[in-house]
Structure 1
Amino acid sequence: MVTLQLKQIRVPPGQRIILEDVSWQVFEAILSELGEHRGSRVAYSQGTLEIMAPLPEHERCKVIIGDLVKALLDELDLNWESLGSTTFKRKDISAGIEPDDCFYIQNYKLMIGKDRIDLIVDPPPDLAIEIDVTSKTQISAYQALKVPEIWRYESKNLEISLLQGEQYVKSLISPTFPTFSITELIPRFVEMARTTGMSSALRAFRQSVRKQIQDS
């Protein structure tokens, strides 16, 4: 049996490693050793641990989509709490995930001022966002944690998945923003950010949202 220390494992940007038969205690130890201030992301489900190192393209998309969501929430005068890439985990179901970004919207009041999350008593995020540049999002942990809505952005497309029972189903409509064509709007302004810059894309997005609200 060969034993390696975590510091001996290096994950290049854009790559991932998958470790099998990882106990919950080892998963917790790995999280502790990796620390909170790191660039990698982890996903854990039923003994399988995935560690991913995102590319700059991944981070750029994550930032702009998160900013677009915040702008849309603000224009709709909706309250929200964003917990970014917080580690969400539950030992009793052997599941843990770190979304690229996440939002509490329906349950925002419950999360105001919360510095520690306990999913035994706290709800999961209402909306999780994943950027599938480095690898495909493994949704088994999201299913176990019962996150109701996931957005996955890949190759200029946005896919909405809604939890129905125990499974996710694809949807063209976001129940969080039912009057907006999210699968069209978000990719369009992500691409605009690539060509004209994030700030100008965000301003144009706000103008578009305001116009739709005024016309409705």
Structure 2
Amino acid sequence: MSDFIIDIEGEKLKLLPQRAIFWEALKTLILSDLHLGKAGHFRKHGIPISRKIHLTDLQTLERLIKNHKPERVILLGDLFHSVENNEWDDFLRFLDVYDFVEFILVEGNHDILSNYPENLPMIPLLEVSPFSFSHIREESKLYNISGHIHPGVSIRGRGRQSMTMPCFYFSKDYGVLPAFGQFTGIKKIRPKKDDRVFGIADRTIVELT
């Protein structure tokens, strides 16, 4: 896999093809929109979606923790999609296994559960200079990093072929992460002239111009 280092506000952020950011200076892993439990929500309504989808996401997160050894993981909202179910129990066990890592949940619009554990504090906004972290983009004196919209871009080949891929998006004042969860949609964005967009294709980060 190939990652990419970008400089934002004088800080080096490593963009990972697993749809996350590693802020090495602070030993912090940043990701957004796991939407755990979404498969269970579909099953409840008679649509047979496998639980393995979310187990794969947790396995990916596990590999990131083992490879990068973060001291803190910031979850930028929409950790869990709906009411408690087996996928939520899977995540609680995951927290117990990695109790030596600090997990912080920045509240998202889907984060409506009532029994968040003590080792998963949930806050509306996190400020760690020079960044502010939120689920939905917030106006801030600091550079805002958020999730929520599941950004993606479409590229076209020489013929009429096209493909849409998840992406990292950075403007002058804010950045948006792709959804970490695999069972999520993509919203195509329209970057402006000076914005930077990094697509994720074939487990590789590609800067698009």
TM over 0.5: no
Flag the structure with more relative contact order, 1 or 2, with Cα contacts below 8 A and sequence separation at least 6: 2
Larger-gyration structure (1/2): 1
**TM value normalised by structure 1:** 0.31
**TM value normalised by structure 2:** 0.31
Hey, which of these two has a bigger chunk of helix by percent? 1
